[in-house]
Amino acid sequence: MSLSSNIVVTAVVLLVVSGGLLYPVHSSITELESSIEQLEVGGNIESNVPQQLAAIQEELEELRARQDDRDYALCPDTPEARNEFETALQKEIRSAGLGRISMDRQAGFGIDGAPSFNIALVVEGDAFQLHSFLRGLESLEWVTRVLKLEIQPGDVERRIKMQIAVLLENHQS
């Protein structure tokens, strides 16, 4: 082999070897640039976290203010508040002119699994008295729901069975 062919072969070998070495380096540099861009974006997100938390806090305060402005409230989950609800319920029964037969406390869950204080109520009266009672129940300061209403047949006075729930504050939050 002549000197010029040795130089050509050596040059080709060096080119192939250097190309093989430079390609992974180029690919690694591209990957690093991509990783740096992702970190910069991630760092940008992290720098926004305090602003995002402040915005969420402000929304929470607005929600609490709207909740305080409501006409209705959840009943506190205390024996005193339950007694106050029962007293208000008895007052509405009397003012509607219904005859109370029985009123039994029941712990339970109201709508969608929300904690509630339930009362099974049996009264006697006519449709007008029932309507008056339901309007009075609706005007109570607490969120109440009639979960069950059964009106038994009768001439004028009918026996009415109801299950009423007052939604309770949830202190687990």
Give pLDDT tens digits for 68-111.
Answer: 666 667 888 888 988 999 999 999 999 999 998 888 887 666 66
Provide the pLDDT confidence category of residue 18 given band limits of 50, 70 and 90.
Answer: low
Helices 127-138 and 79-96 meet at what angle, rounded to 10? 150
Indicate whether 147 and 114 sit together in one domain: yes
Produce one character per residue of 132-157: b if its CB has 16 or more CB atoms within 10 Å, e if not. Answer: bbbebbeebebbbbebeeeeeeeeee
pLDDT tens, position by position, 42-74: 555 566 777 877 887 887 777 677 666 666 678
Q: How many domains does the chain have?
A: 2
DSSP 112: G
- The residue out of 42, 69, 96 marking a domain boundary is 69
Query: In the chain, where do the E strands start and end?
Result: 99-109, 115-125, 144-151, 158-167
Domain that holds residue 136: 79-167
Indicate whether 26 and 88 sit together in one domain: no
CATH number of the structural domain spanning residue 148:
3.30.70.60
Tell me if 40 is assigned to some domain.
yes
Indicate whether 10 and 46 sit together in one domain: yes
DSSP 157: S
Q: What is the pTM of this model?
A: 0.56
d(CA 32, CA 11): 31
Tell me if 119 is assigned to some domain.
yes
d(CA 43, CA 47): 6
